[in-house]
């Protein structure tokens, strides 16, 4: 019985620590913003908003649906579940009204792309953020 | 790096070639080729279903178990600028005797945003476009976006699918975001591609009806979304007139008015959807009994889904369709036309399971109990007198999209 409790406590700790390891919004340094509203982010990540106010294209980068980074960003920053986001993309892609975001497999790749692509937006864990990208707060 | 899900194709030389053609056609310099990742996309889907019914035929010879429900689609889109995009989709759809799987141009459109300020925009789409109708019409052939293996027939009839499927013409769109509230309007105008399914549903197939559209299909959709889609409310409408020739009656016309009210609530784990359809039909010029046969069809469904796990969803749906909204059991219509009442209504209860195996692969299994035969196609069933009132439907579906 004690072992069970101990296993449960360890499990709980793991859960808490993994959710504490949250991701932050990052953009390419050429975009001159300090923060974005959640509504604007939802429009961007559901691929309905395609350009920054200066007219430059928005390039959206995401990781796989089942990665903890994507789940964390979807749920805690956008307030939607990954499956809801995927359905929104599919609705756009297969009706001809929009395009899909660009997928990267690792945070290193995410950092690389956000750093090198003008107009890029994505997310990274705090440990992986450096001066190559701009970290943004969400209003 | 890859465009979502399309990595093998994105690297394909054929796509590069197509891209080059697109670029040279538009006089852009070759140095812009480097920016192609993401601007040019290719996506597609493959769906195969198995359908088994205890009585009657639905999507093929289903009493013996039918494999004749198959959908293949491939599309490509190219974003020239953030506000201009061209897209095209080819579709092959086998649906029993209703569709034979021949290749169709599903859409081929150019959309241009004329005004944009943050998430607000106004624009126009020209070409062949899918009609934004109800919550699901514009992607009704894509299994990953449908609310089940089959569209709820009470709203999205398969036997007259083409009537609101797409338009050849123009569409105006506008989106307005005010805090948590988003208003979206679509206005459509164009020609509807009419097919045999439509002809033989609105007139008796024994009359060999042939139809041609008189004027344009006009309509649109107003959609309100709250809190990123937590709550959605929509009103859609489309009107069209079909000129008809038959082998027996004088030439006449059928006026169709199609309206749908949609409401949906999404929490993270569960969602509830209600859609209601009303369709006044007006027959004129055919004479006697036909012209007196004006009716208003209606129907609704209520669907609740619950997400059991990240990749597993359970749903229950109840739907009802009536040939005459004043005659929900079909008895008066049956008396007038000398047929059994069950030909003029349907009541369907469905339970289904969705398993999202990977990001692109889904598997669905469903069971329906049906009372009534209104949504059965005349193209794959014997005359109404020989259809069975009570029947069950079991189906399985596998679909992959990229």
Q: What pTM was computed for the model?
A: 0.87
CA B287 to chain centre: 33
B43/A100 CB distance under 8 A: yes
Find out whether A74 and A82 touch, Cβ atoms under 8 Å: yes
Give whole-number Cα distances, B265 to A77, A86, B133, B351, in Å: 20, 18, 18, 19
Cα distances (Å, whole numbers) of residue B106 to B129, B193, B296, B298, B318 = 8, 11, 29, 27, 30
Output the domain CATH number for residue A27.
3.40.190.10
Q: Which residues of B touch A78 (CB under 8 A)?
A: 228
With 0-12 / 13-18 / 19 or more C-beta atoms within 10 angstroms meaning exposed / middle / buried, residue B205 is middle
Instruction: Specify if A127 maps to a domain.
Output: yes
Whether A7 has its CB under 8 Å from any CB of chain B: the answer is no
Interchain CB distance below 8 Å, A96 and B4: no
Q: Give domain status of residue A27, yes or no.
A: yes
B116 contacts B127 by C-beta, under 8 angstroms: no
Are the Cβ atoms of A102 and B359 closer than 8 angstroms?
A: no
What residues in A contact B166, CB-CB < 8 Å? none
Please answer whether residues A138 and A25 qualify as being in contact, where contact means their C-beta atoms are separated by less than 8 angstroms: yes
| Residue-range domain boundaries for chain B | 39-401
The residue among A97, A103, A119 with the most chain B CBs within 10 A of its CB, best to mutate, is A97
Q: How many domains does chain A have?
A: 1
Contact (Cβ atoms closer than 8 angstroms) between residue B360 and residue B368: no
Q: Assess if residue A36 is contained within a domain.
A: yes
In a domain, A3, yes or no: no
Res. A138 pLDDT band, cuts 50 70 90: very high
The domain made up of B39-401 is a member of CATH 2.40.160.10 = yes
Residue at A50 is within a domain: yes
To which residue do tokens 């997928």 refer?
A103
- Closest CA–CA distance from residue B299 to any residue of chain A (Å): 24
Residue A34, in any domain of the structure: yes
Q: Is position A16 within any domain? A: no
Chain A residues with CB inside 8 Å of B125's CB?
Answer: 97
Rounded distance between C-alpha atoms, residue B108 and residue B130, angstroms? 9
Question: How much is the pLDDT for B207?
Answer: 87
Stretch 362-401 of chain B: residues touching chain A, C-beta under 8 Å: 401
pLDDT at B8: 37
Do the domain assignments include residue A122?
Answer: yes
pLDDT digits (tens, 9 = 90+) for A32-51: 888 899 999 999 999 999 99
Structure tokens at B79: 């974003």
Distance set, CA A96 to CA A69, B47, B132, B258, B377 (Å) = 28, 19, 11, 23, 29
Mean pLDDT, consecutive 10-residue stretches, chain B (402 aa), reads 38 43 42 58 97 97 97 96 96 94 96 92 97 96 96 92 92 95 97 87 87 94 95 96 90 94 94 97 86 90 96 97 96 92 97 96 98 94 94 98 95
Whether chain B has a CB inside 8 Å of the CB on A56: the answer is yes
pLDDT tens sequence across A97-137: 999 999 999 999 999 999 999 999 999 999 999 999 999 99
φ, ψ of residue B347 in degrees (nearest 5): -130, 125
- Domain extent at residue A134: 21-138
A83 in contact with B, Cβ within 8 Å = yes
């Amino acid at each position: 019985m004690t072992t069970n409790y101990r296993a449960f406590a360890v499990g709980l700790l793991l859960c808490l620590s993994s959710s504490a390891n949250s991701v932050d919004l990052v953009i390419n340094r050429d975009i001159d913003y300090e923060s974005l509203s959640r509504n604007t982010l939802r429009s961007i990540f559901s691929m309905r908003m395609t350009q920054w106010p200066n007219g430059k294209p928005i390039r959206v980068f995401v990781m796989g649906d089942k990665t903890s980074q994507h789940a964390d960003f979807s749920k805690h920053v956008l307030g939607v579940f990954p499956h809801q986001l995927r359905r929104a993309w599919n609705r756009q892609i297969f009706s001809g009204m929009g395009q899909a975001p660009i997928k990267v497999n690792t945070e290193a790749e995410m950092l690389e792309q956000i750093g090198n692509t003008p107009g890029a937006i994505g997310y990274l864990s705090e440990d992986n953020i450096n001066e190559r990208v701009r970290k943004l707060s969400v209003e | 790096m890859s465009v979502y899900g399309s990595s093998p194709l994105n690297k394909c030389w054929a796509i590069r070639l197509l891209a080059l053609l697109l670029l040279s056609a538009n006089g852009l310099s070759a140095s812009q080729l480097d920016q192609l990742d993401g601007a040019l996309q290719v996506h597609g889907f493959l769906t195969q279903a198995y359908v088994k019914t205890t009585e009657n035929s639905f999507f093929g010879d289903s009493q013996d178990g039918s494999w004749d429900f198959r959908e293949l689609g491939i599309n490509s889109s190219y974003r020239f600028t953030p506000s201009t995009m061209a897209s095209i989709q080819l579709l092959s759809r086998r649906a029993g005797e209703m569709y034979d799987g021949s290749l169709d141009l599903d859409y081929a459109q150019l959309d241009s945003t004329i005004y944009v300020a943050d998430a607000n925009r106004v624009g126009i789409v020209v070409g062949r476009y899918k009609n934004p109708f109800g919550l699901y019409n514009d992607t009704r052939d894509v299994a990953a976006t449908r609310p089940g293996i089959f569209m709820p027939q009470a709203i999205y009839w398969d036997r007259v699918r083409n009537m609101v499927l797409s338009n050849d013409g123009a569409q105006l769109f506008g989106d307005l975001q005010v805090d948590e509230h988003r208003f979206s309007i679509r206005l459509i105008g164009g020609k509807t591609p009419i097919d045999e399914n439509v002809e033989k549903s609105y007139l008796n197939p024994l009359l060999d009806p042939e139809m041609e559209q008189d004027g344009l299909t006009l309509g649109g959709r107003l959609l309100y979304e709250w809190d990123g889609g937590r709550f959605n409310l929509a009103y859609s409408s489309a009107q069209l007139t079909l000129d008809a020739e038959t082998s027996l009656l004088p030439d006449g016309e059928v006026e169709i008015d199609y309206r749908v009210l949609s409401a949906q609530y999404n929490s993270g784990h569960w969602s509830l959807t209600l859609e209601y359809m009303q369709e006044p039909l007006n027959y004129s010029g055919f004479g006697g009994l036909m012209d007196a046969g004006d009716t208003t069809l209606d129907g609704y469904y209520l669907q609740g889904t619950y997400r059991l796990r990240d990749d597993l969803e359970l749903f229950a749906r109840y739907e009802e369709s009536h040939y005459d909204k004043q005659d929900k059991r079909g008895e008066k219509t049956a008396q007038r036309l000398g047929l059994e009442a069950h030909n003029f209504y349907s009541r369907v209860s469905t339970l289904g399971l969705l398993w999202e195996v990977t990001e692109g692969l889904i598997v669905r299994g469903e069971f329906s109990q049906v009372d009534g035969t209104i949504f059965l196609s005349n193209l794959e069933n014997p005359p109404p007198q020989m259809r069975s009132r009570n029947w069950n439907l079991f189906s399985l579906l596998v679909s992959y999209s990229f």
